[in-house]
Amino acid sequence: MFRSLTFAVVLLASTAAHGQETRSASPDQPAPPAKIEDLAWLSGEWEGGGPGETRARAVFSGPTGDHLTGHFVQASADGVSFLELMDVVETNGTLVFRLRHFNADLTGWEEKDVVRSFPLVSVSGDAWFFDDLTFRKDGPDGMVAAVRARMADGGTRELVFRYRRIR
């Protein structure tokens, strides 16, 4: 119940994209070469979210070796809705984006051994397209993150978060 409620909040908070910010992996497509340094611009603190009363923060540190680690906080009028621990790792010459979700009390959504993993699908200009998850540089101090989420009715919808750099 709480999780679906949280999801509803996220839905309300986010802009439904008419554009196509995300791309999905296709079976025959090899992962493009990429290095963790390519995403070093993500380091720092980003503030943004959707319209209305919701706010989101994304913070990345490092890079540390092959990893770029970060966390995400989504807040609404009722306080913090959920958190994420994020980790981008360079492996086999390409990148994988991994994350885990947590409630505001830090209890997890996923069981302790379950990690959501998004392989890199393509890179185009200032956009890194992981499988249904995109990070796009939007000017010197802007960033767009987009995720293709599966809805209860079986359809999918793009959720787009627009950020500005505050650190």
Partner 1 sequence: MRTILVCVAALWLSTAQEAAAQETRSTSPGQPPPAARIDELAWLSGEWAGPGIGGAPAREVYAAPLEGHLTGHFVQSGRDGIAFMELVDIVEEGGTLVYRLKHFNADLTGWEERREVRRFALVAKTDTAWFFDGLTIRRDGPDRMVGAVRIESSDGSARELVFHYTRVRPPVASQ
Binding site residues, partner 1, CB under 8 A: 43-45, 55, 57, 59-62, 64-67, 69-71, 73, 75, 79-80, 83, 85, 87, 98-100, 102, 104-113, 115, 166-167
Torsion of CA 112, 60, 74, 132, to 10 degrees: -70
The nearest distance, CB 167 to partner 1, in angstroms, is 5
Between residues 74 and 158, which has the closer beta carbon with respect to partner 1?
74
The radius of gyration computed from the CA coordinates of the chain, to the nearest angstrom, equals 15
The nearest distance, CB 34 to partner 1, in angstroms, is 18
Between residues 60 and 128, which has the closer beta carbon with respect to partner 1?
60
- Tell me the sheet residues that pair with 124: 127
Whole-number Å distance between alpha carbons of 31 and 8: 33
The nearest distance, CB 31 to partner 1, in angstroms, is 18
Torsion of CA 148, 49, 51, 107, to 10 degrees: 80
Between residues 32 and 62, which has the closer beta carbon with respect to partner 1?
62
